[in-house]
Amino acid sequence: MVMSMLAGATLLASALFGTGTSAAEGAEVPVEFGTDWHDPVTAAPPVDRPDTRSCRVTLADVQFRDFTPYRGAYAPPENCGERWSKVVLRLDGKVKGRQYDRLGYLHVGGVEILRTSTPEPSPDGIEWHVEKDVTRYSDTFRHAQDVEMLIGNVVDDTYTGVIDVHVTLTFYAGRPATPAPDRVLTLADSPAGTTLTTPRNSERIVAEVYATGSGGGCEEFWYLTVADPAPYSCKADRGPYREVQISVDGRLAGIAAPFPNVWTGGWSNPFLWYVVPAPRAFDVRPVEYDLTPFAGLLNDGRPHRVEVSVAGVPAGQSGWSAPVNVLVWRDPHRAHVPGALTGDKATDLANSSTFTPGAENRVRTEAGHRLAVSGYLDTSHGRVTTTVTRTLANTSDHRWTDGENTDGLDARWTDDETVRTAGHGPARTTRTHRTYTVNGTVTLGSDNRLRTVLTLGDRAQSVTREGGRRTVWSRLDDTYSGDAAYTADVPRDQRHAVGTSTERYRLLGPDGCYDRSLTTVQGMLTEDRRRC
């Protein structure tokens, strides 16, 4: 079945398609993967850059061979001012030989500005790059800072790939379209745990958490874990539901659904990801929490205990990383903005996993949670009340046979958030609906051919209304599909691997649309189509 499907995909799409074009032209597609393939590429849009004067600073130029962090120094760009319309991070990487996928981070002044993973290389070598808008960290970039970066790696006689990276920041003159935070803070360690001390005139507070389940163990594939008595290799006390929670002084302040990240060795089949990675694999986006309802409590000038936890992780089990940045916008006309937390109400966390044994074992999971918090601030422009409501839901069907020779998942997560502010001027409401989906099956046949068929979805809709009138809106749909097979437990040159992958990234908003599709066959890019 896989070979007949691939045979029909060997035509190169080199003609015009409506208003879009296919840029993939070249040699005939091979019958199977060779020793080289197209450099990794994603369908996500590049960062828009303003047409203004710019300055560039190098943050790191380093090779990673082990788990020793790179440590350097950052200095603000000279003759480029202290206010920028945009700051763009760019990572250029290259690696060749044999290597696993690796996770990495980049800190400037202790602030995490990038979390990333790496592609797996071809014997002949690959190059890739990552771009990210990091304007929100401008406060950090105005001062000299320490730099720390790590992409943990192992290089030996078997895993020969040395990861070579070059990272820069480019600063563009002008004022940002949306005001950047006045302060960017990190949590401090204390005998009471991690603490946060905010400016006393904080008017808006947003925490961002770069939450990733990783480490090569079962928490990398947390959405596949099962509870007893189900006979499966990855166990968790209550099954696959995970929820990233943040608390302030022991009170639940925010909940969120983690994104089901898939790295480039994921789902037992690196041939899925050699050219097109899963959504967010190279640019791991943080979970965000609007903590403004807690600003009245936090604005007393004292340290407050802030903690992040992941509900559902078995007690004492590692595998999650959750560094925190806190973004603060201040009231420029008051030294102290008083206020109070007026309400925080959470439902009980619902989490039900039902195991049904059979020739095909099945675990059905239904879970969810809801939290509403409200508070006010007496700002220089009057009393402002902020209410944040977040509702999470997860359903999944996990199916597998004895021996796990067939292992499949159909899962869906929704994360609905409403932020409403009322006070001076018309009320403002922003509603965001996020949906993540995973639908895939891994099969190991009697001929030792391992086949993975997988579709991933990353979707979001957001609408902002002021006084009932829509002012801002956006709609995102990033969908990946792949089908790859190879002979397991044999040397690389005997795997006879084949595979196709596609990604379509669509983003709509009041300023227009972006729509790009990529298709690969046996590691060759056969279509690069743009429709907007």
- Residue 499 and residue 33 in contact, taking contact as beta carbons nearer than 8 Å: yes
Is 75 within a domain? yes
List, for residues 270-299, the tens digit of each pLDDT value.
999 999 999 999 999 999 999 999 999 999
Running DSSP on this structure, what letter comes out for residue 440?
E
d(Cα 408, Cα 81) in Å, to the nearest integer?
A: 54
d(Cα 269, Cα 485) in Å, to the nearest integer?
A: 8
Count up the domains in the chain and report the number. 1
Is 147 within a domain? yes
d(Cα 445, Cα 451) in Å, to the nearest integer?
A: 8
Question: Phi and psi of 493, rounded to 5°?
Answer: -75, 0
**Residue range(s) defining the domain that contains residue 142:** 54-176
Band (529; pLDDT cuts 50, 70, 90): very high
pLDDT at 25: 52
- Residue 206 and residue 291 in contact, taking contact as beta carbons nearer than 8 Å: yes
Task: State the CB neighbour count (10 A cutoff) for residue 400.
Answer: 23
Is 148 within a domain? yes
- Give the strands of the sheet with 304-311, arranged side by side: 188-190, 193-196, 304-311, 243-248, 251-256
Is 37 within a domain? no
Q: Residue 157 contacts by C-beta under 8 Å, 6 or more apart in sequence?
A: none
Is 355 within a domain? no
Q: What is the per-residue DSSP string for 198-230?
A: --TTEEEEEEEE--EE-SSSGGGGGGG-B-TTS
pLDDT at 82: 87
Residue 284 C-alpha from the chain's centroid:
3
Q: What is the CATH number of the domain that holds 135?
A: 2.60.120.1570
For residue 482, CA distances in Å to 220, 420, 522 come to 20, 40, 11
Output the six-digit token pair for 5. 């499907």
Residue 74 C-alpha from the chain's centroid:
25
List, for residues 442-474, the tens digit of each pLDDT value.
999 999 999 999 999 999 999 999 998 999 999
**pTM for the full model?**
0.93
For residue 75, CA distances in Å to 56, 57, 165, 384 come to 11, 8, 20, 38
The one-letter amino acid code at 90 reads R
pLDDT at 2: 31
Is 99 within a domain? yes
Q: Residue 78 contacts by C-beta under 8 Å, 6 or more apart in sequence?
A: 55
Burial 445-479 (b: 16+ CB within 10 A, else e): eeeebbbbbbebbbbbbbebbeeeeeeeeeebbbb
Is 525 within a domain? no
Residue 26 pLDDT > 60: no
User: How much is the mean pLDDT over the chain?
Assistant: 93
Out of 4-13, 158-167, 420-429, 500-509, which region has the weakest mean confidence (pLDDT)?
4-13
List, for residues 65-95, the tens digit of each pLDDT value.
999 999 999 999 998 988 999 999 999 999 9
The one-letter amino acid code at 254 reads G
Is 139 within a domain? yes
List, for residues 297-316, the tens digit of each pLDDT value.
999 999 999 999 999 998 87
- Residue 481 and residue 518 in contact, taking contact as beta carbons nearer than 8 Å: no
- Give the strands of the sheet with 287-290, arranged side by side: 183-186, 324-330, 202-209, 287-290
Band (488; pLDDT cuts 50, 70, 90): very high
